[in-house]
Chains A and B, each alone.
Chain A
Amino acid sequence: MKSAPLPLMLLILGLTYAFLYVPISVLVALSFNESGLPTAWTGFSVKWYGELARNGDILKAAGNTLIVALASTVVATTLGTLLAVGVEIRRRKGRFLETIIFAPMIIPDIVLAIALLSFFSLLNVTMGLHTIIVSHVVFNLAFVCAVVRARLKTFDWSVVEASQDLGASTLTTLRRVVLPVLSPAVVAGALLAFTLSVDEFIIAFFTAGAGRDSITLPMQIFAMIRFGVTPEINALSTIVMGLSVLMLTLSQRLNRGRLPGQ
């Protein structure tokens, strides 16, 4: 096959990247616009970030998001890692187990959200932050498990036997050999889980319950946006995006560029 001439390829490449990143760049730029209007640039300012810090609703929502993200990450990372190790050991017994573990990654969020809402209603659970945490654990578990399993695929199990042979108990082997070898993947999985949880909207929206006490940051932004895009939202979005990019980069680097499920 004859490939397209270089200038044409560069043009397509440039347009693709522009399509992907120009809107985001505009948002970031506007968050620093003194006037706060999308139509006129009146100078560089960080005053909208200052406004954010004085907005009680936003701070409250940010706090909630942190609680949900941290709690669901800790639970999902612990369970997901153990699950990955268990599944890998039992792998020869069939691949069915693998498929159902990854289901929460594939099922549309809206379906998962409705399912969880129905489930909690059925059990008569009072909804709030705790139900959001449980719901986030559901999908984060699958992601952590996928990342850790990618690492386990190249794991040489004979080191486990070597450790035993040299006199270590099962627990010592887990602590001194298995976990250290897996740790980059575990941390990468945790960072990914945290990132996913921070900007998750639909599932949190459905399982938060009625009160204002359990509003998370994406929900708060959604509420604010109904009255138009304010400069504060631009600033807030910039912060959330910056955090996500940082986390994802760390996660990828720790896991040597492997994506979940790969």
Chain B
Amino acid sequence: MSEPLLSLSNVTKEFGSVRAVDGVNLDIAENEFFALLGASGSGKTTLLRMLAGFETPTSGEVRLDGRDISHVSPNHRPVNLMFQSYALFPHMSVARNIAYGLEMERLPRSEINARVDEILEMIQLSDLAGRKPDQLSGGQRQRVALARALVKRPRLLLLDEPLGALDKKLRGAMQLELKRIQDQFGITFIVVTHDQEEALVMADRVAILKDGGLLQCGTPREIYEHPQSRFAADFIGLMNFMPATVADGALLARDGSRIVAPLPDDAHNGDRMIAAVRPERLHLGEGTHENRLHGRLIAKAYHGLDLQLHLETGLSQEPILVRLTASEAEGQTLETGTAITLGWTARDTRVFNA
């Protein structure tokens, strides 16, 4: 990676005795769509507010284009934030809201008008330029908030739970819309979200935060396919966990069956581990897979694209979850209560320390 646009080194933020953000190191490249993913209390919002300038790090450095901006106030950094509540000015029209940031730059009126018109057109709200925020729908308000931040052409645009206030259907459409806009403007986006699906769909890279620290950072595929911790594996998508102990280069499950899996180099016989496999990596039948499980079908749910099965097995206390594609499930008589055999490969198995 060439010189990163944004570089965090050892950024820590303490509120009293609480460490909200704990030594985060992170480089974000120009033009990247980056997602900070975490549950509430993970420190993602505090981290975002430090990037926007509303909080100053207790220690560490935030560099933008190589310049330390840790102590630069929000109104003096080329960074804009789209607020979770949108924070539109209720007494100003759509056009005035969008023009506000440009007026602060003391640009000539003609340029302000041109840029406001241009972006209104882009977000397809030209007709509503004279409306007040309380006369807009949730989706329209969201677009105005986005336009108000984008029109300043910041080096970095921060989005705090940008789709949180929208209903589910609109959210799906807006995920793609945000990606398109980011592409079109060529501005670096950092999105804060607690929604793992949102992060996977939109972002080029995702960072998982937990207890103020950075747990893992990578492309959505890396994060999904190669989670580095049990927490990450559990947080992103669905995962089956099976406690096991190391025995002669493989794992011995609770019920005594052998699980072949890529073990960490420092694994010794008797070490307690957790083997994990994604529900869609389990396949019906004996097959040629290295690993096999036998279970009793206790529930099934049809989801259109796939068929989800719950299996009672000796491998874990929780039922094992299986997702069969529609074509896999085709022609199979899967009666609840019957015994089923499934297989999966060693390659699809992940191993975590217990």
- Chain B CB within 8 A of A169 CB: yes
In the complex where A159-B88, A159-B89, A177-B89 touch, is A168 in contact with B83 (Cβ < 8 A)? no
Cα distance A165–B55 in the bound complex, in angstroms: 12
Q: How far is the CB of B146 from chain A (nearest CB, A)?
A: 13
Cα distance A162–B149 in the bound complex, in angstroms: 9
In the complex where A158-B83, A161-B83 touch, is A167 in contact with B89 (Cβ < 8 A)? no
User: Using a CB-CB cutoff of 8 Å, which residues 147-205 of chain A contact chain B?
Assistant: 156, 158-159, 161-169, 172, 176-177, 180-181
Contacts of B100 in A (CB 8 A): 163, 166, 168, 176
Contacts of B76 in A (CB 8 A): 167
Cα distance A255–B149 in the bound complex, in angstroms: 31
Q: Interface residue tally of chain B, by bracket?
A: 20 to 34
For B83-94 the 0/1 string (1 means CB < 8 A from A) is 101011111000
Q: How far is the CB of B105 from chain A (nearest CB, A)?
A: 6
Q: Are A168 and B87 in contact (CB under 8 A)?
A: no
Cα distance A158–B87 in the bound complex, in angstroms: 5
Q: Are A156 and B152 in contact (CB under 8 A)?
A: no
Which of B54, B81, B105 has most chain A Cβ within 10 Å? B81
Cα distance A159–B100 in the bound complex, in angstroms: 12
Cα distance A117–B346 in the bound complex, in angstroms: 92
For B65-77 the 0/1 string (1 means CB < 8 A from A) is 0000000011110
Contacts of A177 in B (CB 8 A): 89
Q: Are A167 and B85 in contact (CB under 8 A)?
A: no
- Chain A CB within 8 A of B314 CB: no
A-side interface mostly:
helix
Q: How far is the CB of B13 from chain A (nearest CB, A)?
A: 17
User: Using a CB-CB cutoff of 8 Å, which residues 45-103 of chain B contact chain A?
Assistant: 52-54, 73-76, 80-81, 83, 85, 87-91, 100-101
Which of A165, A172, A177 has most chain B Cβ within 10 Å? A165
Q: Are A166 and B148 in contact (CB under 8 A)?
A: yes
Contacts of B105 in A (CB 8 A): 167
Q: Are A159 and B104 in contact (CB under 8 A)?
A: no
Cα distance A24–B212 in the bound complex, in angstroms: 68
Contacts of B74 in A (CB 8 A): 161, 164-165
Cα distance A242–B281 in the bound complex, in angstroms: 82
Contacts of B152 in A (CB 8 A): 166-167
Partner of B81 from the list A159, A165, A181 (CB cut-off 8 Å) is A165
Q: Are B90 and A181 in contact (CB under 8 A)?
A: yes
Q: Are A156 and B91 in contact (CB under 8 A)?
A: no
12 interchain pairs, CB-CB under 8 A: A158-B87, A161-B81, A161-B83, A163-B89, A163-B100, A164-B75, A165-B80, A166-B80, A166-B149, A167-B104, A167-B105, A168-B75
Interface residues of A (CB under 8 A from B): 156, 158-159, 161-169, 172, 176-177, 180-181
> Nearest 9 pairs between A and B by C-beta?
A167-B104, A166-B101, A162-B87, A158-B87, A164-B74, A180-B91, A167-B75, A159-B87, A165-B74
